[in-house]
Amino acid sequence: MPQIDDMTQLTPTANLTTIENTFTQYSTSLDSFAPRLLDWFAENGRHDLPWQQHQTDAPNPYIVWLSEVMLQQTQVTTVLPYFARFMASFPTVQDLAAAKWDKVAEHWAGLGYYARARNLHKGAKQLVEVIDETGDFPQTLAGWEAISGVGPSTAGAIMAMGLHRYGVICDGNVKRVLTRWAAIDGDITKSATTKELWALAERLTPIENSGLFAQAMMDMGATLCTRSKPACLLCPLQEDCLAHEQGRETDYPVKAKKQPKPSKFSNALLIEDIDGKILWLQRPDNGIWGGLWSLPLQFVEKIAGKMNTKTAAEKTTEIDDTSLKVTSNEKVYEAEFTTAEQIINEWLDKHKLTAKAVSKTLLDDAPIKHSLTHFHWYLTPQSLILNAEQITEITEALEAAQININWLNAVDAQATLGLPRAMVKILE
DNA sequence: GTCCAGGCTT
DNA sequence: AAGCCTGGAC
């Protein structure tokens, strides 16, 4: 734990000094922050989450590590059933490390951000290696940060809550609470602001009970200091919250304006045999849905995000144009295919085969829209039935290129493969 | 329907 | 700095 004298050195500008000068009795505000928060947490916090370890003297770091990785970018209610299934199938880190990737992927399917699942599986193997060498889980912040998928905040959470040692977290919840409490106007996506927030989090975290403090901060951010409509009346920090004083709670945290998202159009090929078995491809580890199974996708086009500064004339064209076509100020990009999709496309070309639209009714031919962080994806299901000879040919072509493939009907695919949500939508 | 949150890796 | 996914808020 850095001493307070060191803290000012951590801040690039006079950040903490600014905060301290803001209060006439700054040490009272800063020093009473944790006691007020912990009192609130004892009375009103959640103490029944299945991964919480603060009521035991022998915390299980595996449970905290697993839950923290799941809780990255994901809300508690979404994580709960996934966590239960993981613990049932992989009760120890050794079980997880020994599992096959496809089994891990199937357990994770639907949670999103699949790199987390790949890192989790890799991390389990790394942890078993550490345990075999030292007899125990890593015991230091650096030891945990060396595990794949564990960054500074997750490592701090594991130190504090999984080992009952000293640890600091500074996740999205903490950042929202702190930017409001101290009215920090810097863009939280900038590294200077990140540094400032980490320094403040460290200054506020009590040396004793850092685990309870971390839980309390996360609970505060999730239940009181919410993004919209924060419950300031119930907040133990209300009396010296600068954002509240100014009535500007929802102005924080400050983030740079989002860039317009491009749109991508693809066909999702349902390549079937006469028994209704569908061709599935395992996607490469990098890129979208890495390591998961997907239908072959056929790139159609990609259109740049809509500009914010459109002229009235351009807006009119846009309204008139209901068929998702390129408009004048939009750019068309290069096609994007995986190796497997290239092989399939070349094979279809060679045999002059074209997939047909699958719509139950004439009106039901709209593409499925799937929005991601950085683009909108419009997926149009297209069907193609192949004979036995063609099935053999395409299977051999893909296997020759070391592509992992599967022929499974819709029900079996959902039950046994890790399918991303968009694929489930298409099957439905 | 649209907008937005969210930690880590590369 | 960009890429990654889904669900909840509105």
Q: Sorting pLDDT into bands at 50, 70 and 90, what band is A233? A: very high
The answer to whether A77 CB is within 7 Å of strand C is yes
Domain match, A203 and A299 both: no
Distance A332 CA to B6 C1' (A): 30
**What's the mean per-residue pLDDT of chain A?**
86
Taking C1' of B7 and every protein CA, the nearest residue is A72
- Say if residues A377 and A268 touch (Cβ distance below 8 Å): no
Q: What is the CATH number of the domain that holds A358?
A: 3.90.79.10
Provide the pLDDT for residue A297.
93
Give the contacts of A257 (CB within 8 A, at least 6 positions apart): none
For A328, counting Cβ atoms within 10 Å of its Cβ (0-12 exposed, 13-18 middle, 19+ buried), the class is exposed
Provide the pLDDT for residue A2.
34
pTM for the whole thing?
Answer: 0.85
Q: What is the CATH number of the domain that holds A177?
A: 1.10.340.30
Domain match, A149 and A243 both: yes
Q: Is residue A256 part of a domain?
A: no
Q: Is residue A237 part of a domain?
A: yes
| Structural domains of chain A, count | 2
Q: Is residue A107 part of a domain?
A: yes
Which nucleotide comes closest to A111 if you measure CA to C1'? C6
Distance A50 CA to C1 C1' (A): 36
Q: Is residue A90 part of a domain?
A: yes
Reported as a single tens digit per residue, the pLDDT across A134-144 is: 999 999 999 99
Q: Is residue A11 part of a domain?
A: no
Question: Rounded to the nearest 10 degrees, what angle do helices A15-22 and A26-44 cross at?
Answer: 90
Alpha-carbon span A194 to A186, nearest angstrom: 9
Reported as a single tens digit per residue, the pLDDT across A13-66 is: 334 544 555 444 446 889 999 999 999 999 999 999 999 999 999 999 999 999
Domain match, A95 and A229 both: yes
Lowest mean pLDDT among A5-14, A74-83, A298-307, A346-355: A5-14
Provide the pLDDT for residue A14.
37
The answer to whether A25 CB is within 7 Å of strand C is no
Domain match, A187 and A57 both: yes
The answer to whether A203 CB is within 7 Å of strand C is no
The answer to whether A283 CB is within 7 Å of strand B is no
Q: Is residue A41 part of a domain?
A: yes
**Number of Cβ within a 10 Å radius of residue A171:** 22
Provide the pLDDT for residue A263.
87
Domain match, A267 and A185 both: no
* Mean pLDDT, range A216-226, rounded to an integer: 95
Active site residue A68: yes
Q: Which of the following is catalytic: A68, A202, A249, A272? A: A68
Bridge pairing between strands A263-272 and A376-385: parallel
C-alpha dist (Å) from residue A344 to A68, A84, A177, A280, A339: 39, 39, 51, 12, 9
Distance A421 CA to B4 C1' (A): 19
- Tell me which residue range forms the domain holding A204: 27-251
Q: Sorting pLDDT into bands at 50, 70 and 90, what band is A333? A: low
